Structure 1
């Protein structure tokens, strides 16, 4: 996921801290999903019990396939060895077949660890509630085996599908493959997010056998593996029998296709990796850009823009955060009627003219874009190219901060603001839209200044220190931020119908933006003016620095001799 050459010297080439945080996040998700098994009521009527079990089983399989799909997309570049691996291993007496087997074993191990971590709690508790009644101990053991076999099979299906598509794309010339990979990664990420959050609920016998749903079931693999689990669990329902057969056929086709495409492309790709660059060359076009301040500031802004446009790895990480915002938008759209009624009850003369879920979605997408762009700013492109910034007159302090701030506003705030303006103006009256866009712009300035607090770097040039952000602890703050956004949009909707309240709200936001900007600049001026090229964490033990060249500055008093009378 991250090249080891881009890591900070303080990380010592170790990514275990970041992987541990991702594992903690998956275990937390598994714990939340397993809570339903503790309080599951098996005394429900048979029909309701069947629907409840199928719904939970489908949720577990769909979540596993979604997480594995994200893993496959984020580890896209690790399917083939990179340039450094080829340059190091090619001169050695190691057969290409050995490299191929080692790479396949590494991918299979990573897939197994991902599935096992995600199901660490659910795989122990839910089989206790899913085994057929009256089957005894053997039925319980069979349920455990069926659960884990189905989970591994569903994960393998998704991973093999992505690997097969990548193997087919690798048959293209290297330059076309690099360009196609960027598109395929984005398309796969959008596909997984859209299917996971928008797929219909068909967990009733009537819905599964309905003729109008057969076309949807043919394109929803999560329901296939629901049928496979029922077959392995010994609780097969006639409505699920075709889905179980489709799961077996799909897994076989995906496995054979991935093995064939990957095997054909692996050996012919090794030579191309050395011969051609890993980054797709930019197309020649209009080279005129406006000025973004002084010449050094303009250079930093243009460097940031072109790096993000050309580096597919950075674009993919940013797309991951945008996908989170898009998923929240989908959830808001699915729950929009209830939320519309809840917020409309609070009053507001524009109750029928403003789409509240869209207002919330615009703020959520703005947060996702700003946070995601700020995070990719911390990931370098190539540390060996930092010498060009080290020998130029680019200095830290307010000048460097201003360049980074303009880059963040240009790459994150401006696109979301412009997209929101086009969307809202096409479906809503222009007066409330203008009021919301003004609020959205002030919120964007606040977010940009807050995310850049303490940022004394040039984007994409500082080494990366994995695990510094503690991603597994950001779930609760994210939920709290979501609650604040919903409450704030509710207040904004009421304020749009009252000019006096709206002006007071704008005044508060403007004062907050000015204070955040002043605090950011004051922090930049008070710190060291050197640009930071090596990321480091705060030391656990602070050294007072009382020594100079290994010698205490105050010499100890000489030892006194024996006292004489």
Structure 2
């Protein structure tokens, strides 16, 4: 029993990415290590300000406002990261058809599966919270304890901080699991159709609440009745109140509101935990049979199936395959939506910046529009480039293996048009509609021409060295970071040049110079990508592999390694 539990626990823990999609040299531990490194870097960035706040001599009310803002930011960030983790691991939270078909004939009890899955989720949640708060959980509690605090106060602040973060993470994860588990009680076909909508809705909800929720207010405003009614609907403030109660830092003026928020945190955590347990029990003891007996969804007969031609028959087939694969794959759509959400978050943060910071970029109302369109375009290209490298069904790529294709040189146009059609064209079309309504038509048309050239540059730069048909090559964690680094560095350079574009739009000579520079850059980027595809060592890849540090001859004779 213990051995079965350990095997299942390890299998469920490393289910962030489908293991069958990985390349033979792919290491899921490497991918998880990269995620942990990103969270540790975020923790380091959030902990830097603690040194300046602790060394400052600010008035008591100003210092309290800064500490409240930082407490709420840390809690909200933890809830957002856990929510994104729960959404991205949506398919691995419960058993799927393959798990049931493999494990059902084996002498494995349902309760063993249940406890192994619970242990794996608890471990993943703990590691996520620990990585995100590894440095902030040591630096900020010392500041929250106060300047003249004793050792016992610091220990209490540390305990309050980690208890609050753990409770906030458990609340979000249990909420997502409850929603997922209750939806699984529907007929299987209906559940599979609504599951994609729930996943996208949860993603949008977490991101929108994190960006649009109000910042902490003063003690006097927090004690007002109007503030209490607003904050009672925001879970991040529930756990903000819980931290204040556990830390013993509740001001008398806002004691009623903060205690009420802390009570809502405890009640919400209990309800979410109980609902998640019920949903898990129903899933493992009631819906396992439904997974086997009821069929999955089939492609619907309705809808629009016509797509235009994109060149010759091979190019058209690959572009159609790429578009329809993305439209039918929930996992790939969620990853692309994540990148678009990052761009949207940056745009929202810029819109909420103080007026002086916005005026530093542009004195005109077109400044935010320029930045928003460029950011969303770059994030769309980066997201599409990432999902292109992840296969949909690796065992089905045999049809491309046996087809006499021309290699990267002949397929570069098809891959490029797929990327343009799924990232550049949609963002450009939305930007065209919005800017034509908001701006004078001359300025809008001028920016749209520059935006199209910028999209062409990004597409060619990101496809440099991409020698595979989209969605058909095995996934190697960490293999595509160089191309993405190029995209993001190009994005940074372009965002810094938004002010130059704004000035160029007011001058015919400046605009002509800007378009000429973009045209030359687009031509160079196109030549750069074509040169790599035409190189003698370029070949179409279906199995991603790292370049070995030591090359072996790998000589075999009669099935054995030669001496």
Q: TM-score, normalised by structure 1?
A: 0.90
The whole-number CA distance in structure 2 between the counterparts of 1:548 and 1:221 is: 62
Shift of the 494–224 alpha-carbon distance from structure 1 to 2, 3 Å rule, reads: same
Q: 1:84 aligns to what?
A: 98
Q: 2:418 aligns with which of 403, 407, 410?
A: 407
Shift of the 275–369 alpha-carbon distance from structure 1 to 2, 3 Å rule, reads: farther
The answer to whether 1:21 aligns with 2:30 is no
Are the aligned partners of 2:390 and 2:472 in contact in 1 as well (CA < 8 Å)? yes
The whole-number CA distance in structure 2 between the counterparts of 1:256 and 1:265 is: 14
The whole-number CA distance in structure 2 between the counterparts of 1:236 and 1:93 is: 55
The 5 A counterparts of 1:218-367 are: 218-237=232-251, 238=255, 239-275=257-293, 281-335=299-353, 337-344=355-362, 351=364, 354-367=365-378
The 5 A counterparts of 1:63-212 are: 63-132=77-146, 136-212=150-226
Shift of the 476–136 alpha-carbon distance from structure 1 to 2, 3 Å rule, reads: farther
Q: 1:385 aligns to what?
A: 396
The whole-number CA distance in structure 1 between the counterparts of 2:419 and 2:536 is: 21
Quote the offset at 1:386 in angstroms.
0.9
Stretches of 4+ moved more than 4 A in 1? 132-135, 275-280, 473-478, 480-483, 547-550
Are the aligned partners of 1:404 and 1:458 in contact in 2 as well (CA < 8 Å)? yes
Q: SS at the partner of 2:91?
A: helix
Are the aligned partners of 2:319 and 2:415 in contact in 1 as well (CA < 8 Å)? yes
Quote the offset at 1:535 in angstroms.
0.5
Of the two, which has the highest radius of gyration? 1
Quote the offset at 1:284 in angstroms.
3.3
Q: SS at the partner of 1:539?
A: coil
Q: 2:561 aligns to what?
A: none
The whole-number CA distance in structure 2 between the counterparts of 1:31 and 1:490 is: 31
The answer to whether 1:442 aligns with 2:453 is yes
Q: 2:528 aligns with which of 519, 523, 548?
A: 519
The whole-number CA distance in structure 1 between the counterparts of 2:498 and 2:293 is: 54
The whole-number CA distance in structure 2 between the counterparts of 1:385 and 1:474 is: 27
Aligned residues: 537
Q: SS at the partner of 1:461?
A: coil
Are the aligned partners of 1:178 and 1:280 in contact in 2 as well (CA < 8 Å)? no
Q: SS at the partner of 1:392?
A: coil
Are the aligned partners of 1:360 and 1:485 in contact in 2 as well (CA < 8 Å)? no
Q: 1:561 aligns to what?
A: none
Q: CA RMSD in A?
A: 2.2
The whole-number CA distance in structure 2 between the counterparts of 1:282 and 1:515 is: 44
Quote the offset at 1:111 in angstroms.
0.5
Quote the offset at 1:56 in angstroms.
1.2
Greater shift after overlay, 257-266 or 57-66? 257-266
Are the aligned partners of 1:395 and 1:529 in contact in 2 as well (CA < 8 Å)? no
Q: TM-score, normalised by structure 2?
A: 0.91
Q: SS at the partner of 1:436?
A: helix
Q: 2:9 aligns to what?
A: none
Shift of the 528–106 alpha-carbon distance from structure 1 to 2, 3 Å rule, reads: same
1:48-92 alpha-carbon deviations (Å, 9 max, x no partner)? 222222111111111111111111111111111233322221111
5+ residue gaps, structure 1? 346-350, 551-565
1:146-172 alpha-carbon deviations (Å, 9 max, x no partner)? 111111001001111111111111111
1:337-395 alpha-carbon deviations (Å, 9 max, x no partner)? 334422346xxxxx4xx521111110000000011001100000111101111112223
Q: 1:31 aligns to what?
A: 44
Quote the offset at 1:32 in angstroms.
1.3
Q: SS at the partner of 1:79?
A: coil
5+ residue gaps, structure 2? 1-15, 558-563
1:188-224 alpha-carbon deviations (Å, 9 max, x no partner)? 1111111112211124212312333233202211111
Quote the offset at 1:481 in angstroms.
4.9
The whole-number CA distance in structure 1 between the counterparts of 2:28 and 2:292 is: 26
1:451-495 alpha-carbon deviations (Å, 9 max, x no partner)? 111111110000000122459x979984x5554233221111111
The whole-number CA distance in structure 1 between the counterparts of 2:56 and 2:260 is: 27
